[in-house]
Amino acid sequence: MDLKLLLQIFLTFLKIGPMTFGGGYAMIPLIEREVVERRKWISTRDIADIFAVAESIPGAIAINSATFIGYRLAGTRGAIVAMIGVLLPTFCIVVLLSLFFLRVQDHPKVEAAFVSIRATIVALITYAAYKIGRTAVVDKSTVALIAITFIVMVYLHIHPVLLIIGGAAVGIGLVFVKGKLGMTTITEQVDREPRYKYDDYYIGGGI
């Protein structure tokens, strides 16, 4: 196995990791520049495919993309090396921030700041719901599914994992039944652009 290539993969993703704030989508243009333009490891066409796969499998798109590129370049070892490379810097920064936060969280000024920040976090989550909702709503069935999920969570409180697995099954079932009834289902927004080209790519993307 080419150790030099593994080291290059590791260092490339190590460099990209800490350069972005607040989410994986911000890393996409940086990954593209390093891997396609500078290193010429992957062609422009292939990178689009890689990002498309990376956003549909579970997990953060930046980590998935890095792992996938590592895999394409140097197999399993390449995948592991790329993943550790992209994770390591942010891991260290988050551990330091957690350490810092746990030390200062009882300070009156910090407490005051977080009273306000908590309201902002509710706004952030609302915004994420709005963003994903816009791609999710394609017909009446999808609107109904959103409402049912919310009501089920409030009153019955089923584990979200079960709902997610159920959601995939319901999707397949709905398209099948509608097909039998002679209706066609448009399963996604027609004019959907690749998500990593959005200007607010950093939120609510990925599906």
| Cα 2 off chain centre by | 31
Span from 4-12, 33-41, 144-152 in contact with other proteins (CB under 8 A): 144-152
Span from 3-11, 28-36, 37-45, 125-133 in contact with other proteins (CB under 8 A): 125-133
Select from 47, 62, 73, 81 the one that contacts other proteins (CB under 8 A).
Answer: 62
Contacts of other proteins in 97-116 (CB under 8 A): 97-99, 101-102, 105, 108-109, 111-116
- Cβ contacts of 91 within 8 Å, gap of 6 or more: none
C-beta of 29 vs 173, nearer to other proteins = 173
Q: How far is the CB of 13 from other proteins (least distance, A)?
A: 12
Select from 1, 58, 106, 193 the one that contacts other proteins (CB under 8 A).
Answer: 58
Contacts of other proteins in 72-91 (CB under 8 A): 72, 76, 79-80, 83, 87, 89-91
Residues binding other proteins: number (CB under 8 A): 109
Q: Taking a C-beta distance cutoff of 8 angstroms, is the pair 88, 94 a contact? A: no
Length of the chain: 207
Q: How far is the CB of 17 from other proteins (least distance, A)?
A: 7
Hey, how many other C-beta atoms are within 10 angstroms of the C-beta on 9? Answer: 26
Which class for 19: exposed (0-12), middle (13-18), buried (19 or more C-beta within 10 A)? exposed
Task: Extract the runs of DSSP E, i.e. beta strands, from the chain.
Answer: none
Which SS3 state, helix, strand or coil, does residue 203 take? coil
Contacts of other proteins in 32-51 (CB under 8 A): 49
Of 30, 39, 33, 52, the closest CA to residue 4 belongs to: 39
